[in-house]
Chain A
Amino acid sequence: MKFGLLSKYFPTEKYLKPPHIGISFSDTNIKAISFDKTSKNPVLKNIILPLEKGSIVSGSIVNENEVIKKLSEIKESLSIPFVFFTIPDELAYVFSTSITVASENDMTEGVAFIMEENVPLSLIDTVFDFESTKIVQTEGGYDVSLVVAASAKKEIEKFVEVFYKSGFEPVGCVNESQAIANALVPKKSVETLSIVHARGNRVGIYLVKNNLVRFSTLRNISGEDYKKQFLDEYEKFLEYCIKYDTGDERAIKSVLVCGDFEYAKGVVEVVAKSSNRVKDIKLSNVWTNVFEIDKNLPTVPYEESLSFAGPIGAVLSDII
C-alpha cells in the first residue's frame, strides 16, 4: 500500500518528530542551520558564531559559560527548541567489527561485550550506537557485521548540559564524520567513497560505504606545506583502507571534499595535480539530500555552504 499522497500532506516528521536545528562544534566556532527537511524548497537559516580561544579544546568543552552564551544567541536567532548536534571527530571512535549473537535482540549486549577491546575507555564511561551492515544466520545464531560509533560519556554529557542550560532540548547526537556523510552522500547510495573534511589546522578523512562511515582519521596539519602534508596523510589513509577494508584502491570511486572553502579548494587542486591514485575528486554539494540544486538557488553562498556539511547532516539525521 502506498501512502505517497497521504505523506505529502501529512509528513510524519513534521507532525510526530519535532523539527530540529543542526549544530556542530569546532575549537573556533559553532555552526547552526535550520530548514524544513520535508519541503522541496526549504527556507534556510544558518549562523556561525566564533568562540573565544580556549572555549573548546580538541573538541572538548572547557569554557561552558562561553558556549552557553553562544548557544543562547543561536536559540534566539533560530527559534526552534529541539537540536540534533554533532560531536567533533576528536571525541568519536568509529570502527567496524563483527559479533556472534544468539538472537538479533542481543546485539546491543554483544557490542557492549566487545567495546573495551576497541575503545580506550571502560564500558560504563562510554556511550555507543551501531548500525549492522551484514547479518548472516548460522547454526548457533547470527554473525553480525557492524559499524560502531562510541564516545566518552562525560564529554557527551557536557554538551547535553550546555544545551539544556541555553534552553535547547537535545533530541540526538551523531559523530561529525557520519553527519557529513549524511549530507554529502546521496541517500540509498551503495558506492564506496572517501570524504575529506579540510580545515585550517586539521583534516578529517573518512571511508564511506553504503552511507555509513566505516573508518575515519583526523590529522593535525597546518602551515605552508598544508597540501603536501595532506597528500602524505591521504596516502596513509588509502594504504590503511586497502589493507583492512576495501582490498583495492579502485574500490574508492570518488572523493568528496568539504570544509573551509580555501582549504577544501587547495586539497582538490593538489590531489588532482599530483595523484594518480584518485580519479574523481571534487568539491561536494552539501544540499544533495536537501533539494535539487539545479532547481533551487540556496541562500547560503556555495563557499560558505561547504563548512555547513556537519550541521546539515545533523538536521537530516533521524531522531530514533
Chain B
Amino acid sequence: MNLLPITEKEAVKKGLKRRFIIMAALLLAVSFGVGVIMLVPSYFLVMGNISKIEMNNSSIGIENKGEVEEMLNLPIEINSKLKFIQNIGANQSTIEVFSKIIKFVPEKVMIDSITFSRNEAYKEKNGILVLVSGTSADRNSLISFSNSLEQSKDFTFVDVPVSSLTKDKNLPFSINIFIEN
C-alpha cells in the first residue's frame, strides 16, 4: 500500500522510469566498452600479421612509378603493333596488283598510265585505289576489259565512267579499281 497523493506517486513512478533508462543506457555503454576492449588484442594481432606479410612481400612492392605505367601501357602498345603487322599482311604488293590488272588487258586496249595509291577511302571503305587510263581501239574491247575486271574476285569495285564509252573507236578511258584492305 502507498498512501501518497496521486501527484507524488506519479513523480515517484517517473523517477523509477528515469532510473531504469539511465541503467539501461549505462548497461549498453558498458557492454560496448567491454566489446571494444575485447577486440583490442585481435586488432593488434591482425595488425602484426599484416606488417609481417608486408615485410615478406617487400620484393614485389611498388618501386618505380614509371615502370608500372609502362607495364600498364603494354596492351595498348601490343595492340598498335598487332594492327601494323595485320596491315602489312593485308597489303598486297604493287607488282602483284599490276599483274592482276594487266592479265585482263585485251589486244586492242593500250594502257597509258597506272596510278597506285594505298590507304585511300572509296565508297566508305579503306584500301588500294588504282586508276588505269589508256586508249581502246573499239568499244567492245573496252567493255570486255571492264567485264573481265569486274568478274575477277581480286577487286572490290571496278568503275568505268560512262564518258569513256561515248566514242566507237579510239576511245580514251579511265577505270577506277578499288581493292579493300
CB of B1 within 8 Å of the partner chain: yes
Whether B12 pairs with A319 at a CB distance below 8 angstroms is: yes
The answer to whether residues A127 and B4 also contact, given A15-B23, A16-B23 and a CB cut-off of 8 A, is yes
Nearest-neighbor residue (CB-CB) of A169 within chain B: B15
CB of A271 within 8 Å of the partner chain: no
Nearest-neighbor residue (CB-CB) of A179 within chain B: B1
CB of B52 within 8 Å of the partner chain: no
Chain A binding site: helix, strand, loop or mixed by DSSP?
strand
Q: Mark B8-48, 1 if CB is under 8 A from A, else 0.
A: 11001101100110010000000000000000000000000
Q: In which size bucket is the chain B interface?
A: 10 to 19
- Name the residue among B1, B15, B16 with the largest chain A CB count within 10 angstroms: B1
CB of B5 within 8 Å of the partner chain: yes
**Minimum C-beta distance from A14 to chain B (A):** 11
Task: Give the number of residues in A that approach B within 8 Å (Cβ atoms).
Answer: 29
Contacts of A236 in B (CB 8 A): none
Q: Mark A166-195, 1 if CB is under 8 A from B, else 0.
A: 000111111100100000000000000000
Contacts of A107 in B (CB 8 A): none
A52 to B13, CA, bound (A): 35
Contacts of A248 in B (CB 8 A): none
Whether B4 pairs with A320 at a CB distance below 8 angstroms is: no
The answer to whether residues A156 and B16 also contact, given A15-B23, A16-B23, A170-B8 and a CB cut-off of 8 A, is no
CB of A157 within 8 Å of the partner chain: yes
Chain B binding site: helix, strand, loop or mixed by DSSP?
helix
Contacts of A160 in B (CB 8 A): 4-5, 8
Contacts of A320 in B (CB 8 A): 2, 9, 12-13, 16
Q: Which of A16, A150, A169, A174 contacts B2 (CB 8 A)?
A: A174
**Minimum C-beta distance from B8 to chain A (A):** 6
- Name the residue among B2, B5, B15, B20 with the largest chain A CB count within 10 angstroms: B2
CB of A151 within 8 Å of the partner chain: yes
Contacts of A153 in B (CB 8 A): 5
**Minimum C-beta distance from B58 to chain A (A):** 53
CB of B55 within 8 Å of the partner chain: no
B147-171 with Cβ < 8 A to chain A: none
A15 to B16, CA, bound (A): 10
A280-320 with Cβ < 8 A to chain B: 317, 319-320
A-B contact pairs, 21 of them (CB 8 A): A16-B16, A17-B16, A18-B19, A87-B3, A127-B4, A128-B3, A150-B3, A153-B5, A156-B3, A160-B4, A160-B5, A171-B4, A171-B15, A172-B2, A173-B2, A175-B3, A317-B1, A320-B2, A320-B9, A320-B13, A320-B16
Tell me the A residues contacting B by CB distance below 8 Å: 15-18, 87, 92, 127-131, 149-151, 153, 156-157, 160, 169-175, 178, 317, 319-320
